[in-house]
Amino acid sequence: VGWCGDGGGVRCVGSERRVGDDRGGGSVVVINSGSSSLKYKVFSVGATREKETQLTASMAGVVERIGDSTLKATHSHRILAYAETTAITQERSETSEEVSAATHVEAISAALNTILDGNDSTSDPNSDKKSNIIAVGHRVVHGGEAYSSAVRVDEEVQRVIERVAALAPLHNHANLLGIRAAEQALGKNVPQVAVFDTAFHVTLPRHAFLYAIPRELYTNSAIRRYGMHGSSYKYILEELHKLKLAAKLHLPRCANRGINAILLHLGAGS
């Protein structure tokens, strides 16, 4: 199972459709479920050309103040348009409304209702709008030492995310709520994939990930350096490699012949 990586598509096990097959069609929803907010983006799936899945951003939004008893939750939703001439996704329209979101289930329901209405191309009231969503991706902060790549979510993956939640208590619990809310809203037949922030950093050598603390804190409590924001670093590195090839940049190379560079992730979460 992959997640639109390495130039390939995602094979939807148990489904007649493959994300990124020659026919295309359907939408992939990507969710970042936080402790009090839920961000999402929707990609329309096109045909596969030269082993690369064509994904076009069509919607984006955020539900904020989830579970806040003093303030009403707000849902901001943007319709996006892709400009072929500039290859840039532009904002076409934006709406904001108050919604009932005491829980993540209610928040994701509010988001999905908007997504499904926007994706519905038929006026048939009996049509199953949910069938247009063919996969859901989740950003999950911590995978511990269990995962080195994106994985198809099943009960075991959910147990691991919960088990290592002590290493990222503000995030993993919320990420898991998003996964379970999506499953409740869309059903178990829609494939869900977890992408872990920690997965990118699994190649850290032992001398780099161990702290100068008693060894039993690692062996008994899994306290070590894991690395965060891996999906961001992976994207930056891939784009840097593309620039290197396109501009024939003479960047320093490390021992394994990869790019030797210092990458910085800047933001409130860094």
- Regarding beta strands 37-49 and 52-64, do their DSSP bridges make them parallel or antiparallel, or are they unpaired? antiparallel
Strand partners, 38: 33, 63
**What is the distance between the alpha carbons of residues 179 and 104, in angstroms, rounded to a whole number?**
10
Q: Of the candidates 117, 136, 148, 142, which has an alpha carbon nearest to the alpha carbon of residue 180?
A: 136
Q: How far apart are CA 58 and CA 156, in angstroms?
A: 32
Strand order in the sheet with 192-196: 88-99, 73-83, 52-64, 37-49, 27-33, 133-140, 192-196, 151-152
- Greatest Cα pair distance, the chain, in angstroms, is 65
Active site residues: 197
